Structure 1
């Protein structure tokens, strides 16, 4: 019985193996495209808003951009909280320390009932730089 099975397996292999290997290749081999020189368009310079060019507040602006402040505030229009220009119009340089502490502690009531998130990990000096930038937006 084992011998008959072995002969059958050998015969089937001998008959079907050549058939499976003799199929013609149907998938063409991709050829490389000849190199063509392409021109690169000149970069378009995007104008920077005037408020971002403020050199005295660049560090403050970078700090603002590195936090979640822009989630609730925009420079020139109300979002969830007041715009930075509205804050600049309401306060003066004399309020610098109070506003810096307000950024750190958070709070509500000055601009409505929606609370401002506290930023307890922010240093007093960095909060002051942020406030200086905001106050520089006074029209």
Structure 2
């Protein structure tokens, strides 16, 4: 009888002991969501206009040196002068069509004129 009790006790101990986690098996334990570190682009040495461009949807249709849906930023810089700064900032805010073909540029009505000007000022630095 002692033998029988010892076997049952051994089975109970083994089955209740803590098992090591297998990294290949699914777990029902939720992990903490990673937190992204936000860096102020201007403080990190990046041009504020470039940071605004990267933070908006601009790069969907425009690239620095390649025409995509709209003109490249270098094409814009080569076509316009510093005197066109206000007009180009308004184009970003109001959108438009016809200067670079029939595909319209999406308006960005929620953007401030100040930020649109910073974007245009950066674009103008790309003039060849």
* Count of paired positions: 97
Equivalent residue for 1:5?
none
2:78 corresponds, among 79, 82, 89, to: 89
Equivalent residue for 1:104?
93
Please, what is the CA RMSD of the aligned residues?
Answer: 2.7
Equivalent residue for 1:117?
106
* TM-score normalised according to structure 1 size: 0.61
Looking at secondary structure, tell me which structure has more helix per residue.
1
1:1-139 correspondence runs (5 A):
22=8, 24=11, 58-139=47-128
SS for the counterpart of 2:84 is helix
Q: Which runs of 5+ in 1 are unaligned?
A: 1-17, 32-54
* TM-score normalised according to structure 2 size: 0.66
d(CA) in 2 for partners of 1:83, 1:92: 16
Higher Cα Rg, which structure: 1
Q: Which runs of 5+ in 2 are unaligned?
A: 21-44
SS for the counterpart of 2:103 is coil
